[in-house]
Structure 1
């Protein structure tokens, strides 16, 4: 059961106790500063928050959010609350919670938070159930775990749910599979597929934060090393770009011919993992698939190869097999574990194979999450207004919302762009005029 955290010392939450399960409410002051600092570079979300405070588009809506509990997420949650939502928040990854941020959300904003950094798998799912105990009408997922639990274990709650949103590629893949099989019970907006999300968050956010996580965990030099990026989707593109910028010799592995060709054209060496595993000093998986690095790769790696993951789930590295192959294990420093194989070679795994940018670092910079979470806020508002018109399937973020977020971001950056003239609009919409 969740703990009842007493907030009677803080008048701004009306002296009411809040159901929560966090590490330490006394960390709230530190978290308060982090939340404010992140909010300073989230101008789009701040504008949405100001409008939400006036219009209350989410008034009385119960919302269960399963997201990385970071300072950026806190700013989203605060905006949703300003809009009138009753938010319950749990973590979408056992290692991604910032405990001080969780404390501030509970103490300063009376949000029911169920998240502790380093929680075990049982606690992780118990926290999801705690969030669902609020009988949500909206779900907000990063990986579709809330949707999965609702459809498999808490089906009695589905009658309350009017819609949801999904933050990441992995979750969207799961949800589209559910919709294709006809088992999805409510409409969901794929926030990940918005241009202002995946073109920026996935590429620039993942690229920078993953490198940040690897360097914080290891304090190793990337320049002059061979850095293997598994997967060249938008996250892989960003990671490869940043690793090359740090001076690494970047190798890309891929399964899609067109994407592999693009990586070649971008100037990277492309080869199968069976070849790349022999030469890599650093490895990072960003595919969203299982067993990308597995036994035959471990056995061929260099002594001391460093292996990490920045895909949503900890399934891309076959850790179960690595555990069986190892004759010895040792934690060398926080988030750095060494596995010694029977042939004497040592494989280093970072962050338990979980999202390294959140396990050992702080996730994406706030300025890029500004657009992602603006999409989440506006998609939630859209779902409340339009859910009766929607079928039980996965929808794209409406184009006009995507464009509005881009316009607001440009305005905040002081960037101006051209507008089409009436003649140009007419020309683009006609077929009569040729060369």
Structure 2
């Protein structure tokens, strides 16, 4: 895909290719474009097309600056957009690093190069907190970004092991981590029973003091099948919304006997990982499966309007989709309306939809009765990501086939629909997962949680805890700095004195006059 001043690419097609090829975030990324002049006497149509591209890039979250209009953009004139160099859509995307087909070590090194915040933060924190010998079990999607977190924790002196379910395991990464001396219990070819035994082996071998968890899976396994290990457990750092909900249920049942840091509740997680990371890559992965123009004019129902659903809906609207939101929370539905989307009941929306996505992280969000309401050929995907978010367990003889990107699914007493990624989270099972820069922020929060758990060991009460706002601010300041930006400053006295009301000046004058 090479473009000149006269032939701008379609933004949606270009974004899909760049996102899937590089696994880097487009949101927050700089892009160089021809100047946004109102009139272009030499090429009016071209000028309008580039202004449209600029507008769509801005809606996606990209930061545009003007390029040299007259510069030649042959393949030889372009340089690969390495480091934090701005992207130029006039250059061939084939010059960009293809993380999908690189060897494990190359993909891991590439990810680490673009995760400066996690690297810098861990270096700072380990200067304050000694992690030498701390036993950390990690239960996360195993791919290049996760490998960077594992590498960095190991380099900080921790004893680290990782477990991952087979459908979420990048085998080239698992193999490379073993070569680097990290304990790995993950294999893309495992059966469900082999995966279960692998998880137990990691618990038995590492006897974790800290668990970095996804969906509360590993901590609940320990509580149910290895309760004797909980005596050594300092605490858990939980990555996801569904995991926090599970720990809330444990707490309410009186079964939560250890501290949990709700990493998911950090604004650096929900506001970036969910809205921009998942929101962006689920769109581009679905384009990769269904076609680059799959959303152009499509009627799409998004079930769930949390950060993931909102980030997804905003982006597919940019690509031309007609979006309807279904959310059981009237506040979320109203927010969608004020964002410019129609909001209605799921039973009304489904029969009219070409594409349906579930964005809740709640089991049976799409129940069998919903599947029966869909049109023939409806494409169905999960962008939340827990087991049976679509009620596939209610379909007799349904068996998932890991690695299947799309299949026809005959709904009992209903239509034949197109199921994406076997009903798993589409971006991490059929694509490269959240972008590198986004996971840099999420893993920086995880590092902060690990540091906090270890510093407060023995004093932190069982239950759910949040990191304080200072942790988010420190990470955000680092992230701004590496991008060449910074937050503003405030003067020393800027109104935090609670006694200074709008009536304060009147009161002061009155007292002055009375004293005369």
TM-score range, shorter chain: 0.7 to 0.9
1:243: how far off?
1.5
The structure number with the bigger radius of gyration is 2
Taking the aligned partners of 1:236 and 1:53, their CA distance within structure 2 comes to 36
Matched, 1:157 2:229: yes
Alignment match of 1:433 (pick from 501, 507, 516): 501
Structure 2 counterpart of 1:167: 239
1:314: how far off?
2.3
Contact residue 237 and residue 446 of structure 2 kept, 8 A: yes
Taking the aligned partners of 2:295 and 2:321, their CA distance within structure 1 comes to 5
Matched, 1:417 2:417: no
1:53: how far off?
6.6
Taking the aligned partners of 1:145 and 1:286, their CA distance within structure 2 comes to 20
1:423: how far off?
1.5
Return 5+ residue gaps in structure 1 as ranges.
1-26
Structure 2 counterpart of 1:120: 191
Q: What are the within-5 Å matches in structure 2 for residues 49-128 of structure 1?
A: 49-51=122-124, 57-91=130-164, 93-107=165-179, 109-117=180-188, 119-128=190-199
Deviation per residue, 1:263-305 (Å, 9 max, x gap):
0110111111111110111111111212221222222211111
Alignment match of 2:366 (pick from 274, 278, 293): 293
The structure where strand makes up a greater share of residues is 1
Alignment match of 1:129 (pick from 200, 207, 224): 200
Structure 2 counterpart of 1:191: 263
Alignment match of 1:406 (pick from 476, 480, 490): 476
Contact residue 304 and residue 345 of structure 1 kept, 8 A: yes
1:81: how far off?
1.0
Contact residue 200 and residue 368 of structure 1 kept, 8 A: yes
Matched, 1:265 2:338: yes
Q: What are the within-5 Å matches in structure 2 for residues 3-14 of structure 1?
A: none
Return 5+ residue gaps in structure 2 as ranges.
1-99, 504-516
Contact residue 292 and residue 316 of structure 1 kept, 8 A: yes
Deviation per residue, 1:54-98 (Å, 9 max, x gap):
66721111111100111111111111112211011011x442221
TM-score normalised over the length of structure 2: 0.74
Structure 1 counterpart of 2:306: 233
Structure 2 counterpart of 1:312: 385
Alignment match of 2:317 (pick from 239, 244, 254): 244
Taking the aligned partners of 2:147 and 2:220, their CA distance within structure 1 comes to 24
Contact residue 376 and residue 417 of structure 2 kept, 8 A: yes
Name segments (4+ residues, structure 1) moved above 4 Å.
Answer: 52-56, 341-344
Taking the aligned partners of 2:389 and 2:414, their CA distance within structure 1 comes to 24
Contact residue 162 and residue 187 of structure 1 kept, 8 A: yes
1:433: how far off?
3.2
Taking the aligned partners of 1:265 and 1:180, their CA distance within structure 2 comes to 35
1:111: how far off?
0.5
- The worse-fitting range, judged by mean Cα deviation, of 370-379 and 48-57 is 48-57
- The worse-fitting range, judged by mean Cα deviation, of 371-380 and 46-55 is 46-55
Q: 1:357 to 1:195 in 2, by over 3 A?
A: same
- The worse-fitting range, judged by mean Cα deviation, of 217-226 and 310-319 is 217-226
Contact residue 421 and residue 430 of structure 2 kept, 8 A: yes
Root-mean-square deviation over aligned CA pairs: 2.3
Taking the aligned partners of 2:499 and 2:155, their CA distance within structure 1 comes to 48
